[in-house]
């Protein structure tokens, strides 16, 4: 493989490592779209099984979104304290554990609590994934890569409806299978994220200079890239400082502001929709899913 030269860590091209990191981060957004969407059909089976009051139906739909606001605030600080990679893996445990517990709920209170805790994990992944992606991504492509991650929300929502379609005929407990299904892609993403190293920028900020430089050098070597080296005497010290400066400068850009505002808008809209969902379901005696050609009444097909 031919070797290229760049003047800074942020000038790296979009290589195999960056693409893999972007996809793994985007899968967190995919799971967000999946878990928030799959509850919409599951509610059709939950209502005849538990006979909840209308306001409780609204809480089921809104619980995960409320949890997301808390998760994004709390885990953002924890990511700065304990590291990007550590939280990049741990937050997905919320996806797995509470997706399964939601499916095993025996009453409405349990379901609301577990959906809320699931939402904390969903919200946590946004600052974690966007930060680690931005700190590795090339400066000129960073905004584009973050937009790619956002697009995966719609992909997750589409997959949720397809899974709903496959599980509609499984009987009154179809909602349990729907909610539990979110644990499967989450486990696959955890497996994939194991190979992602700690952010060199975070390591340098914590004073772990050698580890940060080792990670940056490995990523650059994998891409077949070297920093442009001066030929003057005393290169080594200045070249090392050049790498450190290049890593530190490869941080955030204004695209993060737009990214954050867009997420706030989307989540607020989702919260409003979910809070008023109970009104839509309150007088439902039987629902005919014309687009699927399936009659649903009392939680099962007839």
Quote the pLDDT of residue 153. Answer: 93
Confidence class of residue 16 from pLDDT cuts 50, 70 and 90? confident
**Res. 189: pLDDT tops 90:** yes
CB neighbours of residue 184 within 10 Å:
11
pLDDT tens, residue by residue, 124-179: 888 888 888 888 887 777 788 888 888 899 999 999 999 999 999 898 999 999 99
pLDDT tens, residue by residue, 84-123: 888 888 889 999 999 999 999 999 999 999 999 999 999 9
Q: Could you tell me which residue, 27 or 78, shows the higher pLDDT?
A: 27
Quote the pLDDT of residue 120. Answer: 93
Quote the pLDDT of residue 246. Answer: 44
Q: Which of 1.10.260.40, 1.10.10.10, 1.20.1250.20, 2.60.40.10 would CATH assign to domain 16-197+254-301?
A: 1.20.1250.20
- Specify the pTM: 0.72
State the first-to-last Cα distance of the chain, in angstroms, to the nearest integer. 62
263-300: burial string, b at 16+ Cβ within 10 Å, e else: beeebeebbeebbebbeebeeeeeeeeeeeeeebeebb
CB-based burial label for 156 (10 Å; 0-12, 13-18, 19+): buried
Quote the pLDDT of residue 265. Answer: 52
Quote the pLDDT of residue 268. Answer: 54
pLDDT tens, residue by residue, 216-265: 777 777 666 665 544 444 434 444 444 444 444 444 444 444 445 455 55
**Percent of the chain with pLDDT strictly greater than 70:** 69
**Percent of the chain with pLDDT strictly greater than 90:** 32
């Amino acid at each position: 493989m031919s070797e290229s030269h760049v003047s800074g860590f942020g000038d790296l091209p979009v290589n195999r490592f960056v693409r893999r990191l972007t996809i793994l981060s985007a899968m967190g957004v995919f799971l967000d779209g999946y878990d928030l969407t799959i509850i919409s059909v599951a509610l059709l089976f939950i209502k005849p099984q538990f006979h909840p009051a209308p306001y409780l139906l609204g809480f089921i739909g809104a619980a995960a979104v409320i949890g997301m606001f808390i998760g994004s605030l709390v885990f953002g600080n924890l990511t700065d304290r304990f590291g990007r990679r550590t939280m990049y893996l741990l937050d997905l445990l919320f996806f797995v554990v509470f997706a399964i517990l939601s499916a095993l709920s025996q009453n409405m209170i349990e379901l609301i609590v577990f959906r809320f805790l699931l939402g904390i994990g969903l919200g946590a992944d946004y600052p974690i994934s966007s930060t680690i992606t931005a700190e590795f991504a090339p400066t000129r492509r960073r905004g584009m890569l973050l937009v790619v991650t956002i697009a995966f929300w719609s992909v997750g929502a589409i997959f949720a409806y397809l899974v709903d379609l496959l599980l509609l005929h499984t009987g009154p407990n179809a909602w349990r299978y729907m909610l539990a299904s979110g644990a499967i892609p989450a486990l696959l993403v955890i497996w994939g994220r194991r190979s992602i190293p700690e952010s060199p920028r975070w390591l340098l900020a914590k004073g772990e200079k050698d580890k940060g430089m080792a990670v940056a050098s490995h990523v650059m070597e994998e891409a077949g890239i070297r920093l442009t080296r001066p030929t003057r005497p005393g290169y080594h010290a200045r070249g090392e400082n050049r790498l450190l400066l290049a890593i530190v400068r490869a941080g955030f850009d204004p695209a993060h502001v737009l990214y954050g505002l867009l997420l706030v808008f989307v989540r607020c809209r989702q919260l409003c929709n979910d809070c008023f969902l109970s009104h839509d379901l309150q007088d439902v005696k039987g629902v005919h899913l014309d687009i699927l050609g399936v009659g649903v009444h009392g939680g099962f097909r007839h």
